Amino acid sequence: MNGKKLLRAIAAGALAAIAFAATAQTDFPNKPVRFIFPSTAGGTGVGIMHILADKLSEKWKQPVLVEPRPGANTAIGTDLVSKAAPDGYTILMASSQHVILHHTMRNLPYDAIRDFTPIAGVARMQYIMAANPKLPANTLQEFIAMAKAKPDGFTFGSGGAGGPGHLAVEQFMKMTGVKLRYIPYNNKGMAAVLADLMGGVIDIYVTPPGIGGYVSSGKLKALAVSGQSRSRALPDVPTFGEAGLPDLNASAWYAVLGPANMPKSIVDKLSADFAEVLAMPDVRQKMTTLEHEPFIIGPEPLGALMRSDKDRYTKIIQDAGLVLGN
């Protein structure tokens, strides 16, 4: 084969490949989609996934399979997605923990930014500073005064060292000058921390959403919530800003990620379809019931948020002098 024929053959092959890829992308999805949750099946995160998966299954006429893949503090399920084919058929429900984990697990087999494609924001979580109901303080400022008067006299817990709740308290201590003793509950889950908080074993817990019932029944006190506005589930509880700490950022998010190098056409379709579903009134109502709010952002702002949060959490950890993981 002479040079001109060889070039024509190569060009024809490249055009055929492009045409095949375009066809594959325009009819996406044409088979089941795996939606990986890197934690256990309990909790509001997987509940939100099922709400979204049901709507997307109806829209796509294809099953959307919610698969909890827990282990290694979310690293096992996350690594599975990082190594999947970048075709949109395996996607991840990640949380803010995704951009913190490298501090607590030094030998992660993936990079939280480089090895993933941002697709869509899903939900924002307003974290709540909850207290043992017998704690004498009824407001955040009362608790700060008590804690300053008795350094190391009060305790706080978190579900895992280096998680968003733990780092929110570290930020709180640096901003206010109080000193609390840390009681870790690594791998025991939110339920174990809440049980000890209600039982008086610990004094404070900056908790994810889902405690509205405990507060309304008097089993817990809520001193403040994160975010720019009050929680719909806890309308009588002030924000950190209203309570005098406007710079305390204790919110977190859920978002959909795919493996690196996904085709733009598939990313754009997934992002648009998630946004459409999240805007549906019944979906918004169900998420409100789970004490979350829809968080509709596309790939580029999501990527920017992930990078800025990674830097923000790194600074909190460095400022607090924390040594996490090994």
Condensed to tens digits (0 to 9), the pLDDT of residues 125-152 reads 889 999 999 999 999 999 999 999 999 9
Q: How far is Cα 71 from Cα 63, in angstroms, rounded to an integer?
A: 25
Q: How far is Cα 290 from Cα 307, in angstroms, rounded to an integer?
A: 27
pLDDT on residue 322: 81
Q: How far is Cα 326 from Cα 323, in angstroms, rounded to an integer?
A: 8
Look at 41 and 223; give whichever has higher pLDDT.
Answer: 223
User: Is the model's pLDDT at 10 over the cut of 70?
Assistant: no
Give the percent of the chain with pLDDT over 70: 90
pLDDT on residue 304: 97
Q: How far is Cα 199 from Cα 132, in angstroms, rounded to an integer?
A: 7
Tell me what the mean pLDDT of segment 204-229 comes to: 92
- For the chain, domains (ranges, CATH) are 31-124+253-320 (3.40.190.150), 128-225 (3.40.190.10)
pLDDT on residue 232: 86
Give the percent of the chain with pLDDT over 90: 68
Q: Please report which confidence band the pLDDT of residue 42 belongs to, taking 50, 70 and 90 as the band edges.
A: low
The pLDDT tens digits for 156-166 are: 998 878 888 99
The pLDDT tens digits for 255-310 are: 999 999 999 999 999 999 999 999 999 999 999 888 888 999 999 999 999 999 99
Length of the chain: 326
Q: Is the pTM of this model over 0.95?
A: no
pLDDT on residue 5: 52
Q: If 0-12 CB within 10 Å is exposed, 13-18 middle and 19+ buried, where does residue 280 land?
A: middle
User: Is the model's pLDDT at 17 over the cut of 50?
Assistant: no
pLDDT on residue 8: 54
Q: What is the mean pLDDT of the chain?
A: 89
**The residue type at 169:** V
Q: Please report which confidence band the pLDDT of residue 311 belongs to, taking 50, 70 and 90 as the band edges.
A: very high
User: Is the model's pLDDT at 98 over the cut of 70?
Assistant: yes
User: Is the model's pLDDT at 6 over the cut of 50?
Assistant: no
CB 120 within 8 A of CB 267: no
Residue 93's DSSP bridge partners are: 256
Look at 251 and 35; give whichever has higher pLDDT.
Answer: 35
pLDDT on residue 12: 47
Tell me what the mean pLDDT of segment 17-46 comes to: 74
Stretch among 17-26, 197-206, 212-221, 296-305 having the lowest mean pLDDT: 17-26
Q: For residue 64, give both structure tokens.
A: 């959307």
CB 164 within 8 A of CB 310: no
Q: How far is Cα 235 from Cα 281, in angstroms, rounded to an integer?
A: 21
Tell me what the mean pLDDT of segment 165-191 comes to: 89
pLDDT on residue 115: 98
